[in-house]
């Protein structure tokens, strides 16, 4: 394993043509994924599924990093190779989800704040020993009624910044993930308003906590209408509004932005990323790399192809490789929807 400093690692995480595979589903979430294909959520099945993702041919060509769950970082392949070493050996940085999940925010009914700061310094030291190069912490911002409140935005921004500072202290690159959820019937304009406020407060807190912007990666939502909104915007509208918000709120010192998919379909997430990486359509060059850090939008087809059967591993890996290649092309604005049919 080669240890690099956080500025070098952050740049490596958003390297052109590559993105980050989010495979950090909690025990409950991975159970839901496996339930959907009628596969029991045993430790062996979870390990087997993650192994097929990490060992897919060409994974190192498309993935700069993989976000792991605590259990996965401690696991090894069937050949006895720790997953962290397997990833390092393939030129992929291993990362680790370190938050303890979103909990009810006292005094703000219906709102959440992410917990996990207690004992984090000690956990980070252990994760370094286990081979991690970066971390991830997700804040959850919901739109609806009088939400989000200022208290919710400030509490989550403060937690994100404290987490980021502790990660950098440990020599780990923090992925800062303030997610404005797609759930609800709000329109794109409301999502823009909340996303701007969220990013503004987050970067103010990062500044207050002395976080080195060159040594972090931002993982935000795209600016989209809620799932239940009667008007869903075009790919170009989403791309233009998202880039407008980022130009206003994200300092140019941040090396890259790795979008979450947030419930978008595989092809939607790819198309939106592609549109944002077309400089002529976005008003010229952008100061940061625009990349991807997708979970379901990379894994959905692979999961369905696998269905828990060893004989299906090659087909599942081929499905993952296809999605990874499509998003790699989207990193330079070279993706076209027809490529999906060509591969079918």
Supply the residues annotated as catalytic.
177, 219
Query: Residue 278: what are its φ and ψ, rounded to 5°?
Result: -110, 90
SS3 304: helix
49: Cβ contacts below 8 Å, ≥ 6 apart: 30, 34, 39, 303, 306
Question: 199 exposed, middle or buried (CB, 10 Å; 0-12, 13-18, 19+)?
Answer: buried
93-97 and 134-141: which strand pairing?
parallel
* Residues 266, 87: Cα–Cα separation, whole Å: 24
Cβ count within 10 A of residue 74:
13
Q: Is residue 211 a contact partner of residue 164, using CB atoms and an 8 Å limit?
A: yes
229: Cβ contacts below 8 Å, ≥ 6 apart: 184, 185, 186, 187, 188
In the numeric block, the tokens 């080669």 are attached to: 2
Two structure tokens written together for 140:
């959850």
| Preceding amide of 148 cis, omega within 30 | yes
* Residues 320, 247: Cα–Cα separation, whole Å: 32
Kindly provide the b/e burial profile for residues 294-333, where b requires at least 16 CB atoms within 10 angstroms of the residue's own CB.
Answer: bbbbbbbbbbebbeeeeebbebbbbbbbbbbbbbbbbbeb
């Amino acid at each position: 394993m080669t240890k690099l400093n956080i500025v070098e690692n952050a740049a490596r995480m958003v390297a052109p043509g590559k993105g980050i595979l989010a495979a950090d589903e909690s025990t409950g979430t991975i159970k839901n994924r496996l339930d959907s294909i009628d596969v029991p959520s045993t430790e062996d099945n979870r390990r087997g599924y993650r192994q097929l993702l990490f060992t897919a041919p060409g994974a190192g060509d498309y993935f700069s990093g993989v976000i792991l769950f605590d259990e996965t970082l401690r696991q090894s392949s069937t050949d006895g190779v720790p997953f962290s070493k397997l990833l390092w050996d393939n030129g992929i940085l291993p990362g680790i989800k370190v938050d303890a999940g979103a909990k009810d925010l006292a005094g703000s009914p219906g709102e959440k704040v992410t917990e996990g700061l207690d004992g984090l310094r000690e956990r980070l030291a252990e994760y370094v020993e286990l081979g991690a190069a970066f971390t991830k912490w997700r804040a959850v911002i919901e739109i609806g009624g009088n939400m989000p409140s200022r208290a919710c935005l400030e509490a989550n921004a403060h937690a994100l910044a404290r987490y980021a500072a502790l990660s950098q202290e440990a020599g780990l690159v923090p992925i800062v993930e303030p997610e404005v959820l797609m759930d609800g019937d709000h329109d794109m304009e409301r999502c823009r308003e909340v996303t701007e406020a969220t990013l503004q407060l987050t970067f103010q807190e990062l500044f207050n906590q002395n976080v080195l912007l060159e040594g972090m990666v931002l993982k935000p939502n795209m600016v989209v209408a809620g799932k239940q909104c009667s008007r869903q915007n075009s790919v170009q509208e989403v791309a233009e509004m998202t880039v407008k918000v980022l130009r206003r709120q994200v300092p140019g010192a941040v090396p890259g932005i790795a979008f979450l998919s947030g419930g978008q379909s595989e092809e939607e997430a790819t198309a939106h990323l592609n549109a944002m990486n077309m400089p002529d359509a976005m008003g010229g060059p952008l100061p940061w790399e625009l990349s991807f850090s997708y979970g379901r939008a990379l894994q959905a087809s692979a999961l369905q192809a696998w269905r828990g059967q060893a004989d299906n591993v090659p087909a599942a890996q081929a499905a993952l490789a296809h999605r990874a290649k499509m998003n790699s092309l989207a990193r330079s604005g070279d993706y076209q929807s027809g490529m999906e049919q060509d591969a079918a």
